[in-house]
Amino acid sequence: MSFSPSQGVLSTPPRIYYVNPLLLQGIDAWREAFDHAADTGFDRVLTAPLFDRGGARSIFAFQDLNRLDPHLSLGSAVEDGVGRLAEAARKSGVALMMDLMLDGKARDTKAGFHPVDPRRSPLDPAEPMTAMDAESQSQLLEEWTERLRGLAGIGLSGYRALGIDRIAPAAFKSLISAVREMADAQFLAWTPGTDFGARSAVQNTGFDGCFSSMAWWDFDERWFIEEHRVQKPLGWQIAFPELPFGRRIAHGTQSREILERRAIRALRLAASLGGGLMVPMGFEYGAATPLDPTHGNGTGLRALRHDLAFDISSEIRLANTEIGKVSHAPASSLRLIRNANGPVSALLQSAAEDLRSAENVRFILLNRDLRKSAPAPLTALREAASGFLPVAADVTPLRLRAGETLVIEGRAPAPITSRPMLDVAQATVSPRLAIENIMPRVDDGRFPIKRVVGDVVSVEADIFADGHDPIAAVLLWRPIDAANWNETEMQLVENDRWRAEFLLERIGRYEFAVEAWKNPFAIFRYELTKKNDARLDLKLELQEGLDLVRSAETHADAALGADLKALVSSLDSASDAERTAILLDARTSELMNKADKRPFRLRSTASAVDAERKSAAFASWYQIFPRSQSGDPDRHGTFDDVIPRLPAIRDMGFDVLYFPPIHPIGSTNRKGRNNSLKAGPDDPGSPYAIGSREGGHDAIHPELGEFEDFRRLVEEAGRYGLEIALDLAIQASPDHPWLKEHPGWFDWRPDGTIKYAENPPKKYEDIVNVDFYTKDALPSLWVELRDIVQLWVDQGVKLFRVDNPHTKPFPFWEWLIGDIRARHPEVVFLSEAFTKPKVMYRLAKIGFSQSYTYFTWRNAKWELEQYMRELTETAPKEFFRPHFFVNTHDINPDFLQNAPRSAFLIRAALAATLSGLWGVYNGFELCEGRPDAKRKEYADSEKYEIRAWDYDRPGNIIAEIRMLNRIRNENLALHSHLGLTLLNAWNDNILFFEKASRARDNVLLIAISLDPHNFQESDVELPLWKWSLGDGGALDAEDLVTGHRFRWNGKWQRVSFNPQILPFAIWRVRAAEA
């Protein structure tokens, strides 16, 4: 126990064990209670009043204040009995305190039986002091003052004062002051249940502490925080897990485990608040029966132990130990941290009212759920105390056990100090202007944006400076092979946003930058205009203007100097009014801008633009296996067999013919038909198992032909307007020459084998992969692969479809593509990377012109709309060009498996209109959709056998593909995936959208039914606002399928589709002419 006589306050929080004297008969029972209290860590024992009740009254209703209750068996004399108790308590190491109820004397002082009045609590006084007259109150106060001074002298250490709302604060102040003249007695105000005003009224009356209403708190309501604030001036706020003489925590029908958990939770919370602890006797043993102020059998702790439900004495001892360590003043601040996402409540404590001046904080976490664990709201804690991080860094992630109470400490870390970022010399030459948020850019200029030659690049930037002076800005741009910059004046759009454009005239890489400066003459002209408009005296300003022109003349070159000299002459000879007009003239401004030395000039870092040829963004690809072009499944096709197919392919409107690998195929682990692990003697194997004794990536499969044959095919394709694209697959069969010539390019296992390739869930037992980072591979493998690409470029191939590039290093691709395109900027690389979106986007950033996409698996309207918004409205729009293949030799889409003809038309229309790049694998036009056993690829796949195709198969969609490609070629709006606006169609089976060219001189409205089986119709909303038309406006439309021309009136129209006829419609529209 610690008490400061000079201040009359407790220096440490009290730890009080509360007893009902009616349960303790005889001094031995008291000694046992004192020893028990000391053993469990308490430093005080608080008893209810000990005075004679005169029968079976409540112990809070006394008959004789000069006698002890005979039930206590301590004698009748108050001084003797209380003195014996105080001495026994002192010997046990605790102090004795007693409840103080000044108005507790009973009206009826006759001894004997007194029936209980059920309308009144036995804890209430018979006659509140406020009901007495002034003389009675004064007399009662004098009596209690003398009585308490006497009790203090015999060792009673303090009191729990009841009835603060019934007794005048002045009475308490007088009483406490008088008692303390005699001894260092502590007074604790019993505040629960009283009005906040009554609590505030007893401030400065001498109380050492008060009591918290925590036992009634639901761990969520804010009144608990408000109570703490109101009671702060009263000192320590002592909490108790259950109310003396109130309902017990262990009362109820729940399991012993739950009741014990609830008791421990209440105990730990009370102790964690740090303002002191009071525990009623029996709580530690799970007593279910409340203490009775009118009756007790005197059996003491023995009866409580005998009937225990559980024993948490050790928990109480631990709690008291922690409270005993508190050496600081009562917590000044208590805050509730809201947690709407779980059952864990949190309190924030600090010694300082203002967290900004606090050195540390405490978090009290409590799991309200007694049956389940729950996560701590660490995010909420860190946000509530951001200046005290890290919070619980060593216990993250943190879960509280069922009913657990946990305290976490947070300390204010030392701030990070460092040397100034700039010294004064650097600061004086730092830019006064700011150029920010330059668009378009990719990763702040790390990678180039992608455009097509002939595009206009619109560049915007936020440009501003200190003050209000006008500034000037230009867009600088040039091809990277040019030494000098081109310059275009930027225009202020709004809110410090500036814009300018430049044209991409050549294929290759450009770079651009933004430059800004403070323009002295523009600043002068701006101020002169305002002062002239205000009709102010301009003599000084006119002289300043003349000086600016003269200074410009001094530094100008000969031609510009002559013009400026003439301007100076005009100003010298002009009147003030004429000078004003000359200085404000636009021609003067233009002349001075040419002479501007651009003070405080700031230039941004350069950003790159890759200007590619048109086919990098707009092309229609058709894929075949050359070996299947003989028309006979028993004869391997040749390049010469492909040539007769060229007219039909071109007639369908395709302009790119793509081949899978055309290199020699290995025999080791060769795949048989339908991906069988055993190949027959006539099975050709997969063309992706590259390499045999005939050669590797730099060779042609002998049965296809020779290099001469290939070059002839490339030439013939060009005559038909077709370009050949080759598959670049960086992998090898076990028979590839590399394994013998460059074994160091591979990662060998301890048993001398190489792990075969995998691209989960697919396995390629006939393929092994190179390792790009073995000692021998750096850089020889990289150079070899670059040389292979160069070899095929030299053969006339400028389009490469790259197989699984995501399984090869990013730096390799960035270097290889950059190396090839530095000499051949017309070369285009298509990424076949069906992988994670960020990986696909990274591949586009580092140089791939096009990419396969998730379109193959997007079938529902919401899926398509969501994906198209990602591609056209977010960051990828600047660098990622989606190539919509409707099918591939590896993928037989679910939508097309054994599907009707209309399903193929739907996917064709979607791909051909949503993207500037679309592709078809041979057989799609024939509505081929038979799946393999796993329903992932095609049955009888051409990857593993030679096929002969009937290109006149009934039910084909060749005519429709021809029509789609015609419409694509004739309409600039379809030359990119950009320019898309998704529109309302009130049917989840109909996709309705607009495609428009940048200048909106070509606008298409397209509706596609996504249901290949059923008739669908819907109301659609025409985007009349795009032409600044009202809801009743009209559009002239041309049906590009039928050629029909008509007029749409009003924004609401209706479309319908019969899948047996055509599941899509394409209209070219424009604002109706009057």
Please give, one letter per residue, the 3-state secondary structure of 667-678.
CCCCCEHHHECC
Tokens describing residue 5 = 């006589």
What distance in Å separates the CA atoms of residue 719 and residue 358, rounded to the nearest whole number?
A: 82
Query: Which amino acid is present at 783?
Result: V
What is the CB-side half-sphere exposure of residue 103 using CA atoms within 13 A? 23
What is the CB-side half-sphere exposure of residue 538 using CA atoms within 13 A? 24
What distance in Å separates the CA atoms of residue 642 and residue 145, rounded to the nearest whole number?
A: 119
Is 66 known to sit in a ligand binding site?
A: no
Residue 511 is given by DSSP the state E
What is the CB-side half-sphere exposure of residue 200 using CA atoms within 13 A? 7
Is 852 known to sit in a ligand binding site?
A: no
832 is catalytic: yes
What distance in Å separates the CA atoms of residue 1032 and residue 1034, rounded to the nearest whole number?
A: 7
Tokens describing residue 602 = 């700031």
Is 944 known to sit in a ligand binding site?
A: yes
Is 530 known to sit in a ligand binding site?
A: no
698-701 long-range contacts (CB < 8 A, ≥24 apart) are 698/787, 698/788, 698/791, 699/663, 699/664, 700/662, 700/663, 700/664, 701/627, 701/662, 701/663, 701/664, 701/665
Strands 602-603 and 1064-1071, sheet pairing: unpaired
- Which listed residue (208, 553, 832, 878) is catalytic? 832
| Helix (H) / strand (E) containing 339 | none
What distance in Å separates the CA atoms of residue 513 and residue 476, rounded to the nearest whole number?
A: 5
Is 110 known to sit in a ligand binding site?
A: no
What distance in Å separates the CA atoms of residue 747 and residue 767, rounded to the nearest whole number?
A: 13
- Which listed residue (242, 641, 784, 803) is catalytic? 803
What is the CB-side half-sphere exposure of residue 510 using CA atoms within 13 A? 27
> In whole angstroms, how far apart are CA 970 and each of 525, 616, 718, 1003, 1004?
51, 18, 21, 12, 11
Residue reference for tokens 């006064």: 432
Is 671 known to sit in a ligand binding site?
A: yes
Question: Mapping DSSP to helix (H, G, I), strand (E, B) and coil, where does residue 246 land?
Answer: coil
Q: Let me know: does 622 contact 658? Beta carbons within 8 Å.
A: yes
CA of residue 816 relative to chain centroid, distance: 36
307 is catalytic: no
What distance in Å separates the CA atoms of residue 152 and residue 185, rounded to the nearest whole number?
A: 7
Within 10 Å of residue 99's Cβ, how many Cβ atoms? 22
| Distance between first and last Cα of the chain | 99
Helix axes 539-555, 576-584, angle to 10 degrees: 50
Q: Let me know: does 344 contact 377? Beta carbons within 8 Å.
A: yes
Strands 619-623 and 486-489, sheet pairing: unpaired
Q: Before 761, cis peptide (omega within 30)?
A: yes
| Helix (H) / strand (E) containing 1051 | none
The sign of the CA dihedral 899, 903, 905, 907 is negative
Q: In what order do the strands lie in the sheet with 619-623?
A: 850-851, 828-832, 799-803, 723-728, 656-659, 619-623, 917-921, 883-885
What distance in Å separates the CA atoms of residue 817 and residue 848, rounded to the nearest whole number?
A: 8
Could you give the dihedral angle defined by the CA atoms of residues 883, 889, 891 and 896, in that order, rounded to the nearest 10 degrees? 90
Q: Let me know: does 606 contact 513? Beta carbons within 8 Å.
A: yes
Q: Which residues participate in catalysis according to the annotation?
A: 803, 832
Binding residues for alpha-maltose 1-phosphate: 671, 731, 766, 804, 943-944
Give binding residues as ranges. 671, 731, 766, 804, 943-944
